[in-house]
């Protein structure tokens, strides 16, 4: 099985100096049909879990 890189986008609120900003975050899933590494997981977990699609998570890297 060939390794692949997939992108999942989540959205959330970032607060800085008393101001709130709506931001999108790119989460990268690197792996194959069996295993995956999750890079920069942020905000809403549901799209990330959907992208993992039952694969074994080897690592979560921030």
> What is the separation, in whole angstroms, between the first and last Cα of the chain?
26
Please, are residues 12 and 42 in contact by the beta-carbon 8 Å criterion?
yes
Domains contained in the chain, number: 1
Task: Supply the pTM of this predicted model.
Answer: 0.86
> Which range marks the domain in which residue 51 is found?
4-61
Band the pLDDT of 1: cuts 50, 70, 90. confident
Question: Residue 45's pLDDT is what?
Answer: 94
């Amino acid at each position: 099985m060939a390794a692949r890189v997939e992108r999942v986008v989540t959205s959330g609120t970032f607060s800085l100096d008393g101001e709130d900003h709506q931001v999108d975050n790119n989460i990268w899933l690197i792996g194959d049909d069996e295993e995956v590494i999750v890079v920069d997981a942020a905000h809403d977990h549901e799209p990330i879990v959907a992208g993992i699609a039952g694969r074994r998570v080897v690592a979560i890297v921030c």
